[in-house]
Structure 1
Amino acid sequence: MAENRNESLAAWMTAQQMSAAELADVVNRAIGVFTGRTGATSERTVFRWLSGENRWPQERQRRGLESVTGLPATALGFVPRGKSTSAPTFPEDPDMRRRELLGAAAGAAAATLPLTSSALSSSVVARTVRVGGGDVIRLRDDVERLVALDAERGGHGLERAALAGAAEALRLQKGSVTQRVRQRLYALAADYTSTAAWSLIDAGRLDGAGPHLDRALALAGLAQDAEMVLKVWNLRAMLARQRRDYTEAVAAAQAAQACVAARRSPLHVSLAHARTAVGLAHAGEVRAAVRCLGRAEDALAKADPAQPRSSWIAFYGPAELYSLTAIVRDVVGHPVQAEAAAHRALAALPAGYRRNRAHTTARLALAQLHQGDAEQACATSGRVFKTMEGMELPGRVRMLLGDFQRDLIARSPVLAHQWMDRYRTHWSSS
């Protein structure tokens, strides 16, 4: 029977990431739309199609398959009874085949009204929305481009594009073929929406970020995506710290630690511990903050750097942990250790992470200033403007330089005025 296997149908199901049970379900729903009665196609029926045991489905099942896939039954590898020719394959042109595989998923209509008129079968075609793996891939590529832009120049200006991506994912979700695709689209909507929140946090526009995070958390729940849930709690911790609500910052970071994704992945739990350490440091819990840093280091040492990871957490690794360590050490009054950690972070940062480099450079300047080396700190802070030359200063970096300016005024008013005079043009033009 192996020589009769329906490779065309198998290829379509693979492209759509659809199981036999899922295909049976959507075919039955499609049958219900044009007959008024849900079909009786079973998982075993689909296996018989795939094996070649059944090479020509019943009429209702054929119509259901054609409605779901947007392809004629013969293009799906089926052979009409009485014909001995082998099952036809997809066109040889690879681009055409890819378009058919990725774009030809027809969603069963959501309505369940008892439609009995055969004339209404045309309404099934009219309501057909072809959504499948190709749409998921396209949206994933788009959100990864936003992440790359954020790493290069900061999150400012990305909110609108991110929200548009979330809206597109939710629109497509209504026409998706399988539960798996629906959940992936919900996860993408959560990813886009949390990216919009991050754009506001990084720009220092904190008031609008909270509602985006609330929405993203709900979407992540609908997606049943533990990693997206962790991403949202991580951003919630960052937002709370920016608002100086350190109790909430610690609670949000601890919620990230409790996520399923953190329990499964040393990389993710390391980030959650590091974020908790930052919140505890600002809350004045010195020993607890240092302990959390140790846990973050231990967990990161167990993470496999070659393991594939989602684009949103691609930033996290030794360089980012050194940078967060610099923050914790400086806040708890260990500026020497903070300076050392900042230097290590800058040495390890990839070249494309300009915003992160500018932020860590500002932290380095603060650590030097807190050791009493104001002149060196002023020189270091000037590198922030050079790093971001030609681009707008992200709001978080601007606020950090504001902290530097205030501390410089308190320690050396003369140097502070010189610093402000020297960088006034850079500040206003960025």
Structure 2
Amino acid sequence: MRVVAGTRKFPPIAVHWTRPHGYRECVTGNFRLKIAMAERDFSQVELASAVNAALRDAGERDSVGERTVRTWLTAKSRWPQRAKREALEAVFRCTAEDLGFYPPGSPAPPSEDADVIRRRFLANAGGAAAAATIPLIATRPAVGTSDVIKLRDQLDALTALDAERGGHAALEKAALAGAQEAVELQKRTATGRIRQRLFSIAGDFTAVAAWSCIDGRQLDQASAHLDRAVSLAGLSQNSCVLMQAWNLRALHARQRQEFGEAIAAAQAAQSTAITRRDPLYASLAHARTAIGYANIPGERRAALRSLGYAEETLSRADLDQPRPSWIAFYGPAELYAITAIVRDQLGDPADAEAASYKALAKLPETYRRNRAHATARLALAQLHQGDLEQACATTGKVFAIMAKDPLPGRMRSLLGDFHRDLITRAPTATVAREWADLYRTQWSTP
């Protein structure tokens, strides 16, 4: 190995590193810069654009292009000019040395495991250590994959809370705060792909807020959130987020008993690109359509046809495929629960009861709110077959399942329907009076 002017010439270093989304690549040349770019999801063109923005903010007239970035990545340029170094430091919020650069006459950075470098980069970027060594340039810290992952984890936690407790004011507030955080991050340096992901997450958070209001029967608030979710879905160019918004719009319209709009929203969900790629989403959209048709007189055949489409497409879905957390609720158990709603509405309470039992058999224990809702539907199916005592006993399980928390508004409304049908069918029956005396306060109090 030859030594030139006191500087040791190192051979290319190759390391394997796993990006957050699972992509693997062989990193050579200035691998520290490559890791930093991968974390921020920068292409060469996008990094050049971000550096140029930092140069302009610093009052510099210099600029870089894709070719310059390529010389940095291949380590042909090992120590950029001062203005460019400071711009790079402002973009990544770490020192030029952390990015793999070193001045003439200095040894190259030692070989290290790429995962170690990435953890150090994430720990230092924007932190106190970086702030102490980086010149103050009027550029906000860049937004990258780690920021997106952090927001996604928060979203998943809210989705799990909804499955456990159902919609409530605190859930709505937390979801709106998450959406605002994702939008605020747009003010910082980011690639186009990261910006789309931020809009996508903001749409997901807003959809959670809308669903919380629907489940809590705060329908006017839900309407405003849904409008915002559709807008954010368009900005994100993410058909999954758009499908989620139309799915919720169908639910919202049904709660308002606007069944024509519910069908139109469900059909809009069917037309999104994600339903053409993934039969699970298509199945959910068909199931929502079936509920809409079931509530319109004379549309029995259309309701059953849509239900058949939902069953057929679900049978083709790979249930183990990674998907956003919001659709984790949907699968065979939820389709059985929707089948119970459709069949009961069509006047087939025995079929509705059978579907409810199948739903309860498949529902995970963690889906406490869904289990309570399916149990209430089972009670309605039993009531509509004239089995009053069994139906009243079944509703007692609803209160037991949700004993730790107040009933969501949608569930209280469903139990209100049960009470109304109970006194209509048997106004003088002892079991009806006892049920009202025992549970009136629990199901009618928010």
Q: How many Å separate the matches in 2 of 1:205 and 1:99? A: 46
Contact kept? 1:2, 1:51, Cα under 8 Å: no
Q: Which residue of 2 aligns with 1:55?
A: 78
Aligned pairs for 1:309-320 within 5 A: 309-320=323-334
Contact kept? 1:270, 1:295, Cα under 8 Å: yes
RMSD: 2.3
Q: Which residue of 2 aligns with 1:2?
A: 12
Contact kept? 1:246, 1:283, Cα under 8 Å: yes
Q: CA deviation at 1:424?
A: 3.1
Does the C-alpha gap of structure 1 residues 366 and 93 become closer, same or farther in structure 2, counting only changes over 3 Å?
closer
Q: How many Å separate the matches in 2 of 1:183 and 1:199? A: 24
1:106-132: CA deviation from partner (whole Å, max 9, x where unpaired):
9xxxxxxxxxxxxxx97634x423432
Aligned pairs for 1:167-316 within 5 A: 167-284=180-297, 285-316=299-330
Q: How many Å separate the matches in 2 of 1:36 and 1:60? A: 7
Q: CA deviation at 1:428?
A: 5.7
Does the C-alpha gap of structure 1 residues 369 and 53 become closer, same or farther in structure 2, counting only changes over 3 Å?
same
Q: Could you tell which deviates more after superposition, 25-34 or 233-242?
A: 25-34
- 1:422 is aligned, of 422, 427, 438, to 438
1:80 and 2:103 matched: yes
SS in 2 for 1:283: coil
- 2:166 is aligned, of 138, 154, 161, to 154
Contact kept? 2:98, 2:121, Cα under 8 Å: no
1:276-329: CA deviation from partner (whole Å, max 9, x where unpaired):
111111123111111111111111111111111101101001000000010011
1:129 and 2:141 matched: yes
Does the C-alpha gap of structure 1 residues 320 and 30 become closer, same or farther in structure 2, counting only changes over 3 Å?
same
Contact kept? 1:75, 1:90, Cα under 8 Å: no
Q: Where does the alignment leave 5 or more consecutive residues of structure 1 unmatched?
A: 107-120
Does the C-alpha gap of structure 1 residues 93 and 277 become closer, same or farther in structure 2, counting only changes over 3 Å?
closer
1:242-293: CA deviation from partner (whole Å, max 9, x where unpaired):
0000010000000000011111111111111111111111123111111111
Q: Which residue of 2 aligns with 1:329?
A: 343
Instruction: Give the structure-1-normalised TM-score.
Output: 0.90
Q: CA deviation at 1:59?
A: 3.5
Q: CA deviation at 1:60?
A: 3.4
Aligned pairs for 1:346-365 within 5 A: 346-365=360-379
Does the C-alpha gap of structure 1 residues 76 and 312 become closer, same or farther in structure 2, counting only changes over 3 Å?
same
- 1:71 is aligned, of 94, 104, 114, to 94
Does the C-alpha gap of structure 1 residues 38 and 291 become closer, same or farther in structure 2, counting only changes over 3 Å?
farther
SS in 2 for 1:305: coil
Give 1:74's aligned amino acid.
E
1:385-409: CA deviation from partner (whole Å, max 9, x where unpaired):
1111121001111111111111111
Contact kept? 2:415, 2:443, Cα under 8 Å: no
Give 2:84's aligned amino acid.
Q
Q: How many Å separate the matches in 1 of 2:312 and 2:62? A: 55
Q: How many Å separate the matches in 1 of 2:210 and 2:435? A: 33
1:196-240: CA deviation from partner (whole Å, max 9, x where unpaired):
111110001111111111011111111111111110000000000
Matched length? 412
Q: Which residue of 2 aligns with 1:114?
A: none
Q: Which residue of 2 aligns with 1:369?
A: 383
1:127-169: CA deviation from partner (whole Å, max 9, x where unpaired):
4234322222221111111111100010112111111111111
Q: Please identify which structure carries the higher helix content.
A: 1
Contact kept? 1:227, 1:261, Cα under 8 Å: yes
Q: CA deviation at 1:17?
A: 2.3
Contact kept? 1:156, 1:394, Cα under 8 Å: yes
- Which portions of structure 1, spanning 4 or more consecutive aligned residues, are displaced by more than 4 angstroms? 88-94
Give 1:225's aligned amino acid.
N
SS in 2 for 1:76: coil
Does the C-alpha gap of structure 1 residues 362 and 103 become closer, same or farther in structure 2, counting only changes over 3 Å?
farther
Contact kept? 1:105, 1:131, Cα under 8 Å: no
Q: Which residue of 2 aligns with 1:116?
A: none
Q: CA deviation at 1:418?
A: 1.9
Give 1:278's aligned amino acid.
I
Q: How many Å separate the matches in 2 of 1:205 and 1:132? A: 35
Q: Which residue of 2 aligns with 1:12?
A: 36
Q: CA deviation at 1:339?
A: 0.8
Contact kept? 1:273, 1:295, Cα under 8 Å: yes
Q: How many Å separate the matches in 2 of 1:91 and 1:304? A: 36
1:70-123: CA deviation from partner (whole Å, max 9, x where unpaired):
12212111122343x2235789995x95263266279xxxxxxxxxxxxxx976
Contact kept? 1:204, 1:395, Cα under 8 Å: yes
Q: How many Å separate the matches in 2 of 1:390 and 1:382? A: 14
Q: How many Å separate the matches in 2 of 1:210 and 1:102? A: 41
SS in 2 for 1:74: coil
Q: How many Å separate the matches in 2 of 1:186 and 1:308? A: 20
